[in-house]
């Protein structure tokens, strides 16, 4: 690369990466106690700086309620740390694997090993949780970790860099890339594993960069996650839960319900109930302290464009205030919005919304809902509301998505014993709990031959002995 156009900090980034790699090769497998100690230090660092993280994230967004950061970020990471420390001994243990009869009394084992240096490219929407949860998994697996936070949350990123440096040796865990736009250089480093959380568009670029080094990747992306409102659903319950799932963090959530598929005869009633629940939860004033700001003016303008396009193409827009109201624009709080009569031709149905806008799409029934979903990229999440078990199971069987919550939103993400991950355009790979430990480990198969077994002595010259052995092999196979 031409040094005259090398982004600031790239040389330091590459030098730090080389130091990490060198140490990981010299000391490839931290002990159980060393890993538990690192996890404990991470937990203590988080607890000691919780209020500072809340303030930094709120300042980066323009405003976010501290309780949202606590519930959606801090507690989830602390839960991951506690769970990992409790179960780490059993995760690290070698696993018995059955041995074919002809090799008895030999044995097979799967040996979990650290893969080395893990790179994490984190997003801005939940900067604490989506940075540190995969870090917990990578540390538990015994790896060194290099973190690239998002440039859209500079206060948070600077604070994280500081407290991580105060807590860990730079060859164990380090935060980098906050002083320059060097994500492309970061993704091109030959990590032993690279994890990216963000948009599908950028995920493709990350995968391309990683592919040049044959770097294994985990991609946690997004997409348009549907909510199906079955004819058997309780509309009061479904509308309340969808309103909350859509407006948490002002809709800036990768697994937020992106749009709702509702029977035509119920669509207007449902839309009205969702709008009423939005008003009840967050009021009608931009000064509501529970409601989160949109992260940047550019994102706010993009959301305005989606609503304007839908209105121009015939949709009915239900808002408590106009998005161009200066009172809302000044604090970058986008009015909660329901779009009734959304159609595939509208931009709001063609890209991930990532904001507090819920399109309601008319749907004739379960089969049409399934067909609508299957005509599009596979979503990161799917939500189904209703009491008809047969209709529910038909949806679960005939659609493919990263995860599902039935009769609610978001909560499959919080299940620490379940994997979190997308499929197709919504992601590759998974993490959470033991799934994260396995993602960042190499499960190495080891065969221990027994001196009591001569079956493997299949050496030439072959002759009649080998012919008899072949018959036995055919019988045992």
Q: What is the pLDDT of residues 78-113, one digit of tens each?
A: 999 999 999 999 999 999 999 988 888 999 999 999
User: pLDDT band for position 9 (50/70/90)?
Assistant: low
Give the span between the Cα atoms of 414 and 223, in whole angstroms.
19
- Catalytic-role residue among 73, 80, 254, 352: 254
List, for residues 430-463, the tens digit of each pLDDT value.
999 999 999 999 999 999 988 887 766 677 777 7
- Contact 178/161 with Cβ under 8 angstroms? yes
Respond yes or no: is residue 220 known to be catalytic: yes
**b/e code 171-186 from CB counts within 10 Å (16+ = b):** bbbbbbbbebebbebb
- The whole-number pLDDT of residue 197 equals 96
Query: Does residue 307 contact residue 80 with C-beta atoms inside 8 Å?
Result: no
Is residue 368 among the annotated active site residues? no
pLDDT at 263 over 80: yes
Looking at residue 456, its pLDDT comes to 61
Could you tell me the pTM of the whole model?
Answer: 0.93
Angle, helices 32-48 vs 154-167, to 10°: value is 140
List for the chain the helix, strand, coil content (%; round to 5).
50, 15, 35
pLDDT surpasses 60 at 1: no
Residue 3 pLDDT: 40
All structural domains of the chain, each given as residue ranges with its CATH number in brackets, are: 3-221+428-442 (3.40.605.10), 226-419 (3.40.309.10)
C-alpha 149, offset from chain centre: 14
* Residue 8 pLDDT: 55
Quote the mean pLDDT of the chain.
93
Residue 27: predicted pLDDT:
86
Q: Report the percentage of the chain scoring pLDDT > 90.
A: 86
Facing residues of 448 across strands? 107
Quick one: pLDDT at residue 5?
A: 47
State the number of CA atoms in the 13 A half-sphere of 395 facing the CB: 29
Annotated catalytic residue: which of 68, 220, 352, 434?
220
Cis peptide before 105 (omega within 30 of 0): yes
Determine which of 80-84, 100-104, 402-406, 423-427 has the lowest per-residue pLDDT on average.
100-104
pLDDT at 376 over 50: yes
The yes-or-no verdict on residue 323 having pLDDT over 90 is no
Within its chain, how far is the Cα of 148 from the centroid?
15
Write out pLDDT tens, residues 23-63.
Answer: 999 988 999 999 999 999 999 999 999 999 999 999 999 99
pLDDT of residue 212: 94
Q: Tell me how far the alpha carbon of residue 371 is from its chain's centroid.
A: 26
Q: What pLDDT score was predicted for residue 412?
A: 96
The alpha-carbon radius of gyration of the chain (Å, integer) is 26
pLDDT-based confidence at residue 180 (cuts at 50, 70, 90): low
């Amino acid at each position: 690369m031409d040094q005259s156009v090398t982004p600031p900090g790239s040389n330091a980034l590459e030098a730090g990466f080389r130091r990490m790699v060198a140490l990981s090769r010299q000391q490839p497998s931290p002990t159980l106690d060393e890993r538990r100690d690192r996890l404990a230090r991470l937990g203590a660092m988080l607890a000691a700086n919780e209020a500072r993280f809340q303030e930094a994230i709120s300042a980066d967004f323009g405003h976010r309620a501290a309780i949202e950061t606590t519930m959606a970020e801090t507690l989830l990471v602390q839960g991951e740390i506690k769970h990992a420390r409790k179960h780490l001994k059993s995760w690290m243990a070698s696993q018995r694997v059955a041995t074919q009869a002809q090799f008895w009394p030999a044995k097979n084992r799967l040996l979990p090993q650290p893969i080395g240096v893990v790179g994490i490219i984190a997003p801005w929407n939940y900067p604490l949780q989506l940075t540190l949860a995969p870090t917990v998994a990578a540390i538990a697996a015994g790896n060194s970790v290099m973190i690239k936070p998002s440039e859209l949350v500079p206060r948070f990123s600077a604070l994280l860099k500081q407290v991580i440096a105060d807590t860990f040796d730079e060859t164990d865990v380090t935060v980098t890339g906050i002083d320059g736009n060097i994500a492309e250089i970061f993704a091109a480093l030959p990590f032993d594993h690279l994890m990216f959380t963000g948009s599908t568009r950028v995920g493709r670029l990350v995968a391309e960069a990683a592919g040049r080094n044959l770097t294994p990747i985990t991609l946690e992306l997004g997409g348009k996650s549907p909510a199906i409102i079955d004819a058997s659903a309780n509309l009061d319950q479904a509308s309340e839960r969808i309103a909350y799932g859509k407006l948490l963090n002002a809709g800036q959530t990768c697994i937020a319900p992106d749009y709702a598929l509702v029977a035509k005869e119920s669509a207007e009633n449902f839309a009205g109930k969702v709008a009423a629940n939005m008003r009840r939860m967050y009021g009608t004033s931009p000064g509501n302290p529970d409601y989160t700001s949109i992260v940047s003016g550019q994102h706010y303008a993009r959301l305005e464009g989606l609503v304007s396009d839908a209105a121009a193409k015939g949709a009915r827009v239900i808002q408590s205030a106009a998005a161009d109201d200066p009172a809302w624009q000044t604090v970058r709080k986008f009015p909660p919005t329901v779009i009734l009569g959304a159609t595939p031709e509208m931009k709001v149905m063609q890209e991930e919304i990532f904001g507090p806008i819920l399109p309601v799409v008319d749907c004739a029934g379960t089969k049409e809902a399934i067909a609508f979903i299957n005509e599009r990229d596979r979503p990161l999440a799917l939500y189904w509301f209703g009491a008809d078990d047969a209709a529910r199971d038909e949806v679960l069987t005939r659609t493919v998505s990263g995860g599902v919550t039935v009769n609610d939103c978001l909560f499959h993400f919080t299940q620490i014993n379940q994997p979190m991950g997308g499929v197709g355009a919504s992601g590759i790979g998974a993490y959470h709990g033991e799934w994260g430990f396995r993602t960042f480990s190499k499960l190495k198969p080891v065969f221990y031959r027994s001196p009591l077994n001569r079956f493997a002595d299949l050496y030439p010259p072959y002759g009649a002995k080998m012919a008899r052995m072949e018959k036995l092999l055919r019988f045992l196979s």
